[in-house]
């Protein structure tokens, strides 16, 4: 049985005080959603403050990125140990915005996933095709390569979460249909099954891309969709709570 996850990626939004207020609102509104795991990913500057708000609750904390070295002269980067020290148990890795604006390659994603695991953080590994790739009908090829390269030389799927996020659906309001999403989730599980055998049945694969309380119900009804990575809607407290409640009702 795979416990569903709803993760909120706040991206580059919210001051420390705004982050604290949003986290408190979520914390106070999650009664009755025990079946769903909740992860919040505030900006780096608010991680420690949010960790204090969610202490002793079922809400977990994620960073939106990590670096793949433990320490050193890497101006502007944040080490996995520092992320953990700030209270995180998860790290989002390879988000399409990191790939697009900061030129993260699959090789970087792989180094980060390895370092996250070595540090005791659970990576949420993001993969997904662009609109152009979908139109060219190379979605499976692209996503398959991303998954294999992200997990290169990693010999267990323990403590790994995958997020399938079609780039064309992120922040656009153009959500994948439940079938479109399910097909890619099933494909990813198949790739993992070739790599890891039966362990692939337990890994959680989240869908991300314009998720709302209105569309999450049909997505979560799909067999291979185990939750949602939510961007824009996670900044609106009642909307995010609506997504969490819907997932809890359904799974
Ligand atoms: C995201 O950034 O991971 C995301 C899914 O964004 P949005 O929900 O805004 O499409």
CB of 211 within 6 A of ligand 1: the answer is: yes
Q: How far apart are the C-alpha atoms of 139 and 117, rounded to whole Å?
A: 27
CATH code for position 94:
3.20.20.70
Quote the pLDDT of residue 1: 82
Residue 233 has a pLDDT of: 98
CA atoms within 13 A on the CB side of 158: 5
Choice from 171, 212, 216, 233 to test ligand 1 binding pocket (greatest atom count within 8 A of CB): 171
Q: Which domain holds residue 93?
A: 5-250
Residue-level pLDDT at 250: 85
- Residue 157: the pLDDT is 96
- For 106, residues 6+ apart whose C-beta sits below 8 A from its C-beta are 94, 145, 146, 149, 150
Which atom of ligand 1 has the smallest separation from the CA of 170? 10
- The Å distance, Cα 197 to ligand 1 centre, comes to 30
- Enter the pTM of the model: 0.97
Is 210 a pocket residue for ligand 1 (Cβ < 6 Å)? yes
pLDDT at site 212: 98
pLDDT of residue 188: 98
Per the structure, the count of domains in the chain is: 1
Identify the active-site residue in 37, 104, 165, 182: 165
The pLDDT, as a whole number, for residue 36 is 97
SS3 141: helix
CA-CA distances (angstroms) from residue 171 to 75, 100, 137, 219, 247?
29, 14, 22, 17, 20
* 165 classed as catalytic: yes
Length, in residues, of the chain:
251
> Could you tell me the mean pLDDT of each successive run of 10 residues in the chain, 251 residues long?
96 98 98 96 98 97 98 98 98 98 98 98 98 98 98 96 98 96 98 93 96 97 98 98 96 70
Instruction: Judge if the beta carbon of residue 100 lies within 6 A of ligand 1.
Output: no
Give pLDDT, residue 131.
97
């Amino acid at each position: 049985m795979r416990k569903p996850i709803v993760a909120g990626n706040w991206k580059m939004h919210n001051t420390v005080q705004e982050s604290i207020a949003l986290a408190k609102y979520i914390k106070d509104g999650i009664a009755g959603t025990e079946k769903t795991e909740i992860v919040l990913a505030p900006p780096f500057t608010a991680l420690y403050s949010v960790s204090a708000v969610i202490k002793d609750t079922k809400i977990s904390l994620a960073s939106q990125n990590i670096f793949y070295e433990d320490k050193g002269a890497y101006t502007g980067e944040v080490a996995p140990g520092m992320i953990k020290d700030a209270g995180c148990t998860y790290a989002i890795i390879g988000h399409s915005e990191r790939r697009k604006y900061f030129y993260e390659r699959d090789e970087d994603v792989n180094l980060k996933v390895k370092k996250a695991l070595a540090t005791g953080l659970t990576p949420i590994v993001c993969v997904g095709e662009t609109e152009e790739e979908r139109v060219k009908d190379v979605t499976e090829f692209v996503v398959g390569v991303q998954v294999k390269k992200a997990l290169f030389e990693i010999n267990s799927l323990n403590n790994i979460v995958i997020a399938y996020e079609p780039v064309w659906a992120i922040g656009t309001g153009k959500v994948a249909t439940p079938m479109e999403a399910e097909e890619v989730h099933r494909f990813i599980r198949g790739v993992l099954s070739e790599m890891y055998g039966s362990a692939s049945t337990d890994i959680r694969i989240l869908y991300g891309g314009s998720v709302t309380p209105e569309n999450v119900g049909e997505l979560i009804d799909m067999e291979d969709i185990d939750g949602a990575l939510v961007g824009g809607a996670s900044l609106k407290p009642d909307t995010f709570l609506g997504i969490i409640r819907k997932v809890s009702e359904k799974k």
